[in-house]
Amino acid sequence: MKRFLSLFISFCLIFGCFSAIVLADPSSENGEAIEMDEDSSLNAGAVFTVNEDGVLTGYSGSNATIFIPNNVVKIDDFVFQDNRYLTTVTVPSSLKEIGDYAFDNCPKLSTINLPEGLTKIGNSAFANCKNLNCTIPDSLESIGELAFYKCEKLQSIHISDKITVVPFGTFTYCKNVKTVTLGNSIEKIGEDAFRGLPLWEADLVLPDTLTIIEDYAFCGDEGLTSLYMGDNVTELGVYSFADNKKLESVRLSDGLIQLGACSFSGAECLTSITLPEKVTILEDEVLANSLVTKLTIPDSVKKIEYRAMASMTKLEEVFIGNGVSSIGNEAFADCTSLTTLYFSKGLKSYGEDLFKGCDTSKMFAYVYDETKAIDLCEEYGIAYEIVDKRLDPVEGLTAEPAGKNKVKLTWEPVEGAVGYLIYGQKNGKYAYVGMTTLGTTFTDRNALDTDYNYYFVFAYEYKDGSMWAGKGAPYVFAKGICPAVANLKAIAQKGSVKLTWTKVPDAEGYLIYGIRPGEKYALVGMTTLGETFTDKKASTSDFTFYWVFAYHRDANGKMIAGLTGKYTYGKAR
């Protein structure tokens, strides 16, 4: 046998084969070399071609289990593509890169150890490996298009904080994935990236760095129950969250400009959604088949396209913003519960079969005088009332923490208002919070203290015995926590500094933080005995800076710190 191998290698060298032919040089899962005797069957019959740069450029053999040679830093493009034998691959810790199509269409491959230190997985590297289940390392810096396409046995997806783009089709139809961890640096999620993950059950919180979600990115992820996105997202592609059949609540980005066609179509459990103030077009079937009951279309929207709200069978009431100039064909088709419409001033054109499948004899519309909306109502047989003007939106709306589970809202009075309606969004659900006729303040005494509460205030009046709500205003938000400590003072004493402050509503105690000379910002102490604290370690030669935070404990006993107040400083005598 040894004589044969010697002759074979000599033959390759004579005829110009300058790559190293590595036979039976296996590695354990942690990349350490395994010594083999002459009779070892590990890698028996396998031939690896590794160049002088440590790149595995070729392989031949019919082994089910192989060990990639030590010191390989890259598996080149196409090396194992269409291999019908491989079931288990062990790679060394030296591996940094897996090339394009490296393991594409290896139908029996079920196990591969991807080591910490791996930085790149190429396009379609594991595409169509329908039996593969593996762990994606935190060291990964880039991942290619279709990298894990149709890896039907993959159960967990981890996107590291080093990855900024999840490209086209990366995890499409990985239908057994149950958990997904998204890194905090993602800026773009590409087309089809997470499409068709029906077993992924989660409340999806997208990273604040995200700006673009492309077509079909989360389409058909039937386990998702809620969606929260930061305000840097500007674009949602077509069908981006379509057919998410368990999606109940959505918080869209305030920066959203483009809301793609069918982006939430088929969201059969979605009962409420707030459209951002920068969206300009409601594209084809954008909310079709959802269960939203009331919908406010902001003034920023110029066009409502084909079947944008079609088959929203629970939709009862629609406020159409003053910016809407055209409404497309079948926009409200099969909205069988629709009874109340508020039309914009700016409507100039509308399409055919607008209310196809609806009983327009049960509808009532509020329209502005001398507008196209009157023609629309008369054409479709909708009863209407001409109104001069809805009340103006509230201005100067603010929200401030007011104590444990309390948020205080204040605003400026609206001319003609007899009272104000307060709505809020908590835990992703939009609902009525309260109302007042006693001025321009309101305290929500059921506010969340561990997450933000979003508030909307509407002035209202009565016309013919019915309550008429005014225009919407931008929302505000706050947590139900202790307000900032006020009147914080530092009094120099012999060998200490005494701090005093004003009592904070609902405070159960106070945390004192400080920066001592030559030290970093750190906890100095705490007290539950009143509104004073004596720092007995204060310097006598230089100032110590102090901050005091009121705190309360939630229902689970967790300490919730209040807002940051002004600092003070002092030194001991």
Co-location of 406 and 466 in the same domain: yes
Q: Count the residues in the chain.
A: 573
Residues 341-349, mean pLDDT to the nearest whole number: 89
Co-location of 462 and 423 in the same domain: yes
Co-location of 467 and 493 in the same domain: no
User: Strand ranges (DSSP E) for 388-508?
Assistant: 398-403, 406-410, 419-426, 429-436, 441-444, 453-463, 466-469, 476-478, 489-493, 496-500
Q: Above 60 in pLDDT, residue 39?
A: no
Co-location of 467 and 539 in the same domain: no
498, part of any domain: yes
Distances (CA, A) of 251 to 228, 240, 254, 473: 5, 15, 9, 17
Nearest 5°: the CA angle 465, 388, 277 is 100
Range of the domain at 443: 398-478
276, part of any domain: no
Q: For residue 111, what are its two tokens?
A: 């196990």
Over residues 318-329, the pLDDT tens digits come to 999 989 999 999
The pLDDT value given to residue 464: 77
Structure confidence at residue 386 as a pLDDT band (50, 70, 90): confident
514, part of any domain: yes
Over residues 270-304, the pLDDT tens digits come to 988 999 999 999 999 999 999 999 999 999 999 99
Domain boundary among 424, 447, 478: 478
Residues 167-181, mean pLDDT to the nearest whole number: 96
Over residues 526-541, the pLDDT tens digits come to 999 999 999 999 999 9
Count how many domains the chain has.
2
Co-location of 438 and 494 in the same domain: no
Question: Which range among 30-34, 99-103, 483-487 shows the weakest confidence by mean pLDDT?
Answer: 30-34
Q: Above 80 in pLDDT, residue 27?
A: no
Distances (CA, A) of 453 to 83, 202, 480: 54, 21, 8
Residues 535 and 550: beta-carbon distance below 8 Å: no
Residues 511 and 482: beta-carbon distance below 8 Å: no
The pLDDT value given to residue 391: 86
Q: Above 70 in pLDDT, residue 16?
A: no
Q: Return d(Cα 536, Cα 555) in angstroms, integer.
A: 34
The pLDDT value given to residue 41: 58
Co-location of 453 and 494 in the same domain: no
The pLDDT value given to residue 187: 96
Sequence letter at residue 30: N
Residues 71-76, mean pLDDT to the nearest whole number: 97
Q: What is the CATH number of the domain that holds 457?
A: 2.60.40.10
Over residues 491-548, the pLDDT tens digits come to 999 999 999 999 999 999 999 999 999 999 999 999 999 999 999 999 999 999 999 9
Residues 60-83, mean pLDDT to the nearest whole number: 96
The pLDDT value given to residue 10: 36
Q: Is the dihedral of CA 27, 28, 33, 34 positive or negative?
A: negative
Residues 38-47, mean pLDDT to the nearest whole number: 66
The pLDDT value given to residue 388: 63
Structure confidence at residue 268 as a pLDDT band (50, 70, 90): confident
Domain boundary among 478, 504, 528: 478
Shortest CA distance to 266 belongs to which of 233, 218, 228? 218
Residues 206 and 230: beta-carbon distance below 8 Å: yes
> Residues of the chain with pLDDT > 70: what percent?
92
Count CA atoms closer than 13 A to 275's CA, side-chain side.
29
Co-location of 514 and 466 in the same domain: no
Shortest CA distance to 64 belongs to which of 115, 107, 126, 32? 107
Q: Above 60 in pLDDT, residue 559?
A: yes
Structure confidence at residue 349 as a pLDDT band (50, 70, 90): very high
The pLDDT value given to residue 36: 30
435, part of any domain: yes
Domain boundary among 412, 443, 478: 478
430, part of any domain: yes
Co-location of 493 and 566 in the same domain: yes
Co-location of 402 and 474 in the same domain: yes
Residues 448 and 426: beta-carbon distance below 8 Å: yes
Shortest CA distance to 275 belongs to which of 469, 467, 456, 470? 456
251, part of any domain: no
101, part of any domain: no
436, part of any domain: yes
